[in-house]
Amino acid sequence: MIDFRSDTVTKPSQEMREAMINAPVGDDVFVEDPTVNELEQFSAELFGMEAAIYCSSGTQTNQIAINVHVQPGGEIITNEDSHIYKYEGGGISKNSGASVRLIRGNRGRLTLSDVEQWINPDDVHFPVTQLVSLEDTSNRGGGAIYDFEEIKKISTFCRKNNLPLHLDGARLMNAMVENGIDLKEYASQFDSISLCLSKGLGAPVGSVLIGKKDFIKKSRRVRKVFGGGMRQAGIIAAGGLYALKNNVERLKIDHLHAKALESTLNELTWVKEVIPVETNIVVAVLKDESQRDVILEKLAQKDIKIMAFGPGMLRFVTHLDIIENDIHATIEVLKKL
């Protein structure tokens, strides 16, 4: 089976499994798991930030960050397509009692003028704007990468206005291998960064939340409250550490594979357009909306799994368990569909 549904479907390689089996462990709630501690330190240093905390999922790291940054009744500025709003089960209101200012934008991204326009004035009528959250790359935006100049402008504005800036960097490494920006310079624009280890990086479980010491200390408390305090978590953290050390540069291969799918899809008569591919996500818009499920079914019969991505839209995600031959095979099937 060739599984393009998501880059979360990757399975740990033999080498990663060995790193996991051999990982020294301890009780992480006591901060005594050497492998978790190493992963946290490695992540923080990689981004030139003070500290990090290992959590069970990207939803958890985002929700913890929101909970630490925002008070009940406060408001978060984010894109209407952002994962924190759309795909975290209403956690912003449920976990943190916050409201959201949703911005319509270009492929899941915000601009400085969005933030300038929607930060609320100091007036009792309005919720207090307490956080700006960006997503890089943007999932709903078809893997779109932020313009770093725009991030710097947003960051400067946020700092002037004492507004924390969070990054949902679930697929941040996909952006970083493409734009070649220095990780530390990039990270210095943000107050907190969530990074998924279980997407294209190929670890079985987990995300890290990175930030200042004080922020991570508060996050550790919230993680416990959310039921996310884990014990001998070094077993799974070892997979994440292995992923960060070995699987970053190879993301470029996934991007080449995505580009190959894009070119083929662009030639097909039944495809209206393909959202220009920037990283590992390919979104095709169909000419005839009603054909979506037919195509999904036909591909499934050929053992190719992809995902519906809204009305008349299909999504392919490339990842480390998809090899070049899978791409060739898929291209042949698509051409004959």
Ligand X SMILES: *Cc1c(COP(=O)(O)O)cnc(C)c1O
11-29 in b/e form (b: 16+ CB < 10 A) is: ebbeebeebbeebebbebe
Cis peptide before 137 (omega within 30 of 0): yes
Window of 24-32, 39-47, 193-201, 246-254 that interacts with ligand X by CB under 6 A: 193-201
For residue 183, the minimal CB distance to ligand X (Å) is 18
Does 170 help bind ligand X (rule: CB under 6 A)? yes
For residue 126, the minimal CB distance to ligand X (Å) is 28
For residue 159, the minimal CB distance to ligand X (Å) is 24
Does 57 help bind ligand X (rule: CB under 6 A)? yes
Window of 23-31, 58-66, 225-233, 323-331 that interacts with ligand X by CB under 6 A: 58-66
Angle between helices 251-267 and 324-336 (to 10 degrees): 10
Window of 24-32, 56-64, 95-103, 313-321 that interacts with ligand X by CB under 6 A: 56-64
Does 139 help bind ligand X (rule: CB under 6 A)? yes
Does 114 help bind ligand X (rule: CB under 6 A)? no
Per residue, what are the HEC states of the chain? CEECCCCCCCCCCHHHHHHHHCCCCCCHHHCCCHHHHHHHHHHHHHCCCCEEEEECCHHHHHHHHHHHHCCCCCEEEEECCCHHHHCCCCHHHHHHCCEEEEECCHHHCCCHHHHHHHCCCCCCCCCCEEEEEEECCECCCCCECCCHHHHHHHHHHHHHCCCCEEEEECCHHHHHHHHCCCHHHHHCCCCEEEEECCCCCCCCCCEEEEECHHHHHHHHHHHHHCCCCCCCCHHHHHHHHHHHHHCCCCHHHHHHHHHHHHHHHHHCCCEEEECCCCCCEEEEEECCHHHHHHHHHHHHHCCEECEECCCCEEEEECCCCCCHHHHHHHHHHHHHC
Of positions 46, 51, 65, 196, contacts ligand X by CB under 6 A: 196
Does 240 help bind ligand X (rule: CB under 6 A)? no
Does 58 help bind ligand X (rule: CB under 6 A)? yes
For residue 171, the minimal CB distance to ligand X (Å) is 6
Does 67 help bind ligand X (rule: CB under 6 A)? no
String of contacts with ligand X for each residue 205-224, x by CB under 6 A? --x-----------------
Beta carbon nearer to ligand X, 75 or 135: 135
Does 201 help bind ligand X (rule: CB under 6 A)? no
Beta carbon nearer to ligand X, 170 or 274: 170
Beta carbon nearer to ligand X, 37 or 137: 137
For residue 132, the minimal CB distance to ligand X (Å) is 16
For residue 125, the minimal CB distance to ligand X (Å) is 32
Of positions 3, 40, 81, 135, contacts ligand X by CB under 6 A: 135
For residue 105, the minimal CB distance to ligand X (Å) is 14
Query: Residues interacting with ligand X, by CB under 6 A?
Result: 57-59, 62, 83, 135, 139, 168, 170, 196, 198-199, 207
